[in-house]
Amino acid sequence: MLQLERKPLARETAQNQIEAGGGHVVEIPGESDWRDAAEQVRDAVQVDIRFSSFKDGRGFTLATQLRERAGFTGRLRAVGDLIPDQARYLHRVGFDDVAPERTDLAADWAKARARFSHAYQPAQDKVTPIFRHRQARPGDDLAALNARYRGADAADILRDAIRNEWAGRIAVLSSFGAEAAVGLHMIARIAPDTPVIFLDTGRLFAQTEQYQRALTETLGLTNIRMLRPDAGEAAAEDGDDRLWQRDPDACCALRKVRPLDKVIGEYDALITGRKRFHGGERLALPVVERINGRIRVNPLASWDAEKVNAYFQRFDLPRHPLSDMGYASIGCWPCTAPVQDDGDVRSGRWAGRNKTECGIHTPSRIAAE
């Protein structure tokens, strides 16, 4: 993972204060981590996001994250090296204004700035902003739920979650990876029409796409919900198809986190296939947890590799085609490698980088829980 320098991000200028009518104005670099930025703009009436180059799309990502994930509703202004062709997209990701520094394009900018006559309005269907407190709902007593599920069979946990606890308000999140067939098989036997959310990042192995289709048919799953990154955002932020290399966190945000964020509000709970034996942050995985105000159910949390393999054999489940080639955990092709001799199950993911999770299960550090 690229390590951003941990230094104060925001700077405030007297000129900015004047322009904002005396309110608290901060400027942050477009390449900032959104969580750090969110902490520093809490009280601001205006945030200026600085673009060091019009070719660097990270400011777009940061704006989207401040709007959709942090719930920032003040004024957002893009400043720095920008070109008029970017006006449409700047407005779309939530900017209210732009202060370009290129004087040679002043005439074109005069026309393009007309887009910014309407201030940002938070959309009603966006994910619950993390600055707002989510209403408590039945089934959110984590201690009671974990006590109830302690020692229970995974299939029984799933049956209770799908038919009782979050009936009609629960979906499964599946990568159709190396172990996915186990949980999906259980779910197919309980309720094959349970929504299965599949993040098609545009970077999946062809074998995963084939396996997804074959396994869906074999198990009789009837409600696959394919989520893809926004085409406009992908073009603006990853025009050279190298974002995974430059900034894998930004790439996962574009291709996984944000597509999921757009629909997660439709469900009270998501089922995952994560397990403690995967190691890293998963070592202490509870069966039920809350991440940024939403329930995750991890019915296979206590399972190990032996139990997974035994289940595959017992029900003669098809394996992912890459499993036999040493791929123990399978994500996007640029960021997945076979496991080396002494590696743990997820050591082939983002190998050589300080990154172990894509972010869809990562709690925000400033979540209002």
Residues that bind ligand SF4 (CB under 6 A): 201, 203, 244, 248, 251-252, 255-256, 331-332, 334-335, 358
d(CA 91, CA 87): 6
The tokens of 128 are what? 């619950």
Closer Cβ to ligand SF4, 161 or 253, answer by number: 253
Extract the tokens encoding 331: 């994500």
* Residue 248: CB minimum distance to ligand SF4, A: 4
Of residues 77 and 255, the one with the C-beta less far from ligand SF4: 255
Least Cβ distance, residue 251 to ligand SF4 (angstroms): 3
State the nearest-atom distance from the C-beta of 34 to ligand SF4, in Å: 16
**73 vs 344: CA distance, rounded Å:** 43
CA 201 to chain centre: 11
Q: What distance in Å separates the CA atoms of residue 248 and residue 1, rounded to the nearest whole number? A: 7
Sorted by sequence, the CB contacts under 8 Å of residue 204 that are 6+ apart come out as: 332, 333
Strand runs labelled E in 7-89: 25-29, 46-51, 75-80
Q: By C-beta, is 171 or 252 nearer to ligand SF4?
A: 252
Residue 165 or 247 having the CB closest to ligand SF4:
247
Distance CA 110, CA 95 (A): 16
Report the alpha-carbon distance of residue 35 to residue 117 in Å, rounded.
Answer: 28
353 vs 213, 245, 336, 364, CA distance in Å? 31, 10, 12, 21
Choose between 91 and 320: whose C-beta lies nearer to ligand SF4: 320
Catalytic machinery residues: 358
Answer for the pair 268, 169: CB distance below 8 angstroms, yes or no.
Answer: yes
